[in-house]
Amino acid sequence: MTHALVVIDVQNDFCPGGALAVEGGDQIVQPINALMADFDAVILTQDWHPAGHSSFASTHDAEPMSMTEMPYGPQVLWPDHCIQGSHGAKFHPDLEIDRADLILRKGFNPDLDSYSAFFENDHETPTGLDGYLRSRGIDSLTMVGLATDFCVNWSATDAARLGFDVTVRTDLCRAIDFDGSLDAAIEGMKGAGVRVG
Ligand code: VGL
Ligand code: ZN
């Protein structure tokens, strides 16, 4: 098996002090760095939204963390975060980004959010990661990062459905845990065949 470490969205806006801070988000950075040497490939994802993105509450004059209906289904409306080129969109300064083979940006389509590293939230529009992994012969993925219940969850369940062998290291993830989202995510991942460790 060829193993990749997939590090999801370890960016300033998801760490304490950021626009969509995840509690303890910064605590996972050093242990993730330490894990990188154990893998054949290291891939980072980066949430990368244009200003006025459709997933921002401000775009709809709505309260952050309220829900809306998009053509592709229900969508949480978030505080403005990970705006292209901003400090918040940059990786945590201690993350060893020079060790990455690939940095995959997602969420750049103004009308469509993209939690998963594989498909945008319509579950149809591919990011290209599936083809990249397959053409490199990578068949086993370990996922870590932020946030457990959104981008890690959607990435891991898509990867398992695409036929990859997937492990999520929950000790190296942190969750938003909004309205029962963490428990639902763990159940969903297990149901999709993800090893949740
Ligand atoms: C994420 C909400 C909005 C994540 C990204 O990385 O989990 N969550 N954008
Ligand atoms: Zn986002």
Which pLDDT score is estimated for 176?
Answer: 98
| Ligand 1 center from residue 21 Cα (angstroms) | 10
Residue 64: inside a domain, yes or no? no
- Our answer to whether residue 106 is catalytic in this structure is yes
ipTM above 0.90, yes or no: yes
Q: What is the CATH number of the domain that holds 159?
A: 3.40.50.850
Please report how the helices 153-161 and 181-191 are oriented relative to each other, as an axis angle in degrees rounded to 10: 10
Q: What is the pLDDT of residues 121-138, one digit of tens each?
A: 999 999 999 999 999 999
Cα angle, residue 129 at apex, residues 128 and 130 outer, rounded to 5°: 95
- Residue with the nearest Cα to atom 6 of ligand 1? 151
How would you label 127-146 residue by residue, b for 16+ Cβ within 10 Å and e otherwise?
bebbebbeeeebebbbbbbb
Residue 122: inside a domain, yes or no? yes
Q: Assess contact for 36 and 172: CB atoms under 8 A.
A: no
How many domains does the structure of the chain reveal? 1
Residue 94: inside a domain, yes or no? yes
Residue 6: inside a domain, yes or no? yes
Percent share of the chain, pLDDT over 90: 100
| Ligand 1 center from residue 19 Cα (angstroms) | 11
Average pLDDT of 192-197?
97
- Our answer to whether residue 90 is catalytic in this structure is no
- Containing structural domain, residue 183: 2-49+84-196
Does the N-terminal peptide bond of residue 147 adopt cis geometry, omega within 30 degrees of 0?
A: yes
CA dihedral 127, 131, 136, 138 (to 10 degrees): 80
Residue 104: inside a domain, yes or no? yes
Residue 71: inside a domain, yes or no? no
Average pLDDT of 19-29?
98
Name the amino acid, one letter, at 26. Answer: D
Residue 72: inside a domain, yes or no? no
Residue 34: inside a domain, yes or no? yes
Q: What is the pLDDT of residues 130-162, one digit of tens each?
A: 999 999 999 999 999 999 999 999 999 999 999
